[in-house]
Structure 1
Amino acid sequence: MIIRLVDFVGRYATKFLFGGVLVGLLIPPLATLLRPGLVVFLLLPLTLALMRLDWSAFHAYTRRPFLIAIAVAFLLLACPLLVFAVLQPVGLPRPLMEAIVLMAAAPPITGTVAIALILGLDAALAVIVMVLATALVPFTLPPLALLLLDIEVQMSLVEFMGRLALMVGFAFGAAALARWRLPPGWLQQNQRLLDGGSVIALVLFAIAIMDGVTAKLLAQPGYVILATASAFVINVALQAVGYVVGRGVFRLNIPAAITLGVLAGNCNMGLVMVALADRAVFDMVVFFAMGQLPMYMLPGLLEPVYRRMMRQPA
């Protein structure tokens, strides 16, 4: 029965992602209950995605180091600089503008790997760019925050890198162990089951991260609506820029270019919150929380668009 339930979730993965992110807002006690499991819910989708990864494609990208390097530089450097330049004349509240720029400077969320697999995109590209961008962000985000926003990010490099290495290393190790122990052909025969497991973990993460957000929504509805609308607009805009750059500059095929767009639009704001610690003002925290909505809703909304784009001649 449990297997059938997980398989059902995998069959309608994007729809469950769409609706699941709202549960934490609608049922605040559930968000509080799940909050201690944030790290587990964060690592499980990455582990399941790594189990299913086509490692031959992964190795093919390791033989193209220049492409990977400029893709990572595009995400960590070009995107925040572009966003900062565009937002300067818009006149958004200062904390909201700062939060959006910091979001653009963050690496992709680990869930982009699972999303890439569910949507049939280039998961190998998603893995290698996500891992490298996450490893390098301690070197790029603090100077950008100081240069563009005059915000001094208090980030212990050794501790931060150690935590990231432990998390990513655990996911790679667990995936390698599972591939070694599972019978041949099991992963290919149970792809929808694995999709379901990834979606459940992503939804649980989305619920847990909403802890305390409902009260903030009731306290300042106008600002929260503005922050939510901004999150959707900037996510779609960065996805579009990523796709155009992927096709026009990097000469990627369509699935890989869409993947670069998904990586650009879906940023790990949780890492930014950790880096800022108590320096993040209330209005910035609101944006980081509501920014989860487009990351979970847009895969379902844009799936027909992605499918149509991938049917086009290369």
Structure 2
Amino acid sequence: MRPLRRACIFLARHGRTVLIAGLVVGILFPGLAGIVRGVLPELVALTLGVAALRIGPRAARGSLADIRISLRLVAGYQVVLPLLLAGCFLALDWSGPLPTALVLMAAAPSISGSPNLTIMTGNDPAPALRLMIAGVALLPLTIVPVFMLWPVFGSVGAIAMASIRLLLLIGCSAAIAFAVRERFFPHPSGETVAVIDGVSAVLMAVLVIGLMSAMGPAITATPGLFLLTLLAAFAINFSLQVATFLMLGRAGHEGARVAWAIIAGNRNVALFLAALPASVTGPILLFVGCYQVPMYLTPVLLGWLYKPRDPA
């Protein structure tokens, strides 16, 4: 087992490179992406479980103050932001796949890999896990005003059911992981944590392959549309992350603001693909694929901003 442990530690040390490799493979091999797409639910469950295993139940629980802050952040992220975007787009009379994708992205909860991305920046992933759970749990409520303002011809009930399924997935994965940790290594060594981080990096790289199937064909068939969509994905993702990071710093949330900033820009827009009609989801598949690029490059391109700073 020692060689396997050493391999995992090596992958953890080069986790950012592993994510980039996943992006490249997903673009170059759309056939493989189609195969991986068939096991995405299982990969999401494993990714969540590994993140929970790394964090542990004590850190995940947090305090009453953490819960209150998470609720306020969910309201800002999943209600205020998408309503502002929808209002601006309606005022500009701008409709179509791209504005619809942007509104849906803003209305979505955190991606399941947000704790893992936070780990790769060297910061505490527990606030990301807590905010992710709160966002998914409240999605059936937060999505209602957004859908009322921006009609995407989808059923709020279908979105609610998809949200409930995701919440059950998170809950079951976390419960199993917490039980395993408490039973076998309640106080893991630094080497054990590094092994878990290596496994997490591999799972996230494989996961992204399954979300990239629409990008390869678009690069050759419609390069102009691909570049425009990719630029929009980078702009919305990174602008939300940087703005949130700077604002939360002034609010005195130094310990958690990296996790919260990462979630501000990285949302689980793919959650809506199973609940909305094909007439809506088909045109936004390219955005979903392009959106994975800034998402998985977050630890690489924003690592300088999120680098842990020694307390003064």
The whole-number CA distance in structure 2 between the counterparts of 1:232 and 1:37 is: 27
2:191 corresponds to which residue?
189
SS in 1 for 2:109: coil
Q: Distance in 1 between matches of 2:278 and 2:166?
A: 20
Please give the alpha-carbon distance, in whole angstroms, between the structure 1 residues aligned to 2:92 and 2:17: 34
Does residue 267 (structure 1) correspond to residue 254 (structure 2)? The answer is no
Helix, strand or coil for the counterpart of 2:123? coil
- In structure 2, the CA distance between the partners of 1:257 and 1:63, relative to structure 1 (3 Å rule), is closer
Alpha-carbon distance in 2 for matches of 1:24, 1:13:
17
Name which of 23, 26, 34 aligns with 1:24.
Answer: 26
- Corresponding residue number in structure 1 for 2:74: 72
- Corresponding position of 2:309: 311
Quick one: distance in 1 between partners of 2:83 and 2:242?
16
State whether residues 154 and 276 of structure 2, in contact with CA within 8 Å, keep that contact through their aligned partners in structure 1.
Answer: yes
1:200 to 179, 202, 206: 202
**Is the deviation greater in 262-271 or in 34-43?**
34-43
Query: For residues 76-225 of structure 1, what are the structure 2 equivalents within 5 Å?
Result: 76-84=78-86, 94-147=96-149, 149-154=150-155, 155-156=157-158, 159-186=161-188, 188-225=190-227
Cα root mean square deviation, aligned = 2.4
Q: Which amino acid aligns with 2:286?
A: V
Secondary structure in 2 matching 1:156: helix
**What runs of 5+ residues in structure 1 fail to find an aligned partner?**
none
Distance 1:87 1:3, change over 3 A: farther
TM-score (norm. length: structure 2): 0.89
How many residue pairs match? The answer is 309
SS at match of 2:63: helix
Q: Which runs of 5+ in 2 are unaligned?
A: none
User: How far 1:167 sits from its partner (Å)?
Assistant: 0.6
SS in 1 for 2:10: helix
Identity of aligned residues (%): 29
Shift in Å, 1:278: 1.4
CA distance in 2, matches of 1:227, 1:91: 19
Residues 183-213 of structure 1, C-alpha deviations (whole Å, 9 max, x = no match): 4544543111111111111111100122344
User: Residues 299 and 82 of structure 1: is their aligned pair in 2 closer, same or farther, counting only changes over 3 Å?
Assistant: farther
Of 46, 49, 62 in structure 1, the residue corresponding to residue 48 of structure 2 is 46
- Per the TM alignment, residue 34 of structure 1 is displaced from its structure 2 partner at its CA by 1.7
Inter-partner Cα distance in structure 2 for 1:257 and 1:74? 15
Distance (Å, rounded) in 2 between the aligned partners of 1:142 and 1:166: 21
- Matched to 2:278, the amino acid is D
1: distance between equivalents of 2:166 and 2:126? 19
Counterpart position of 1:295 = 295
Q: CA deviation at 1:10?
A: 0.6
Output the amino acid matched with 1:294. Answer: P
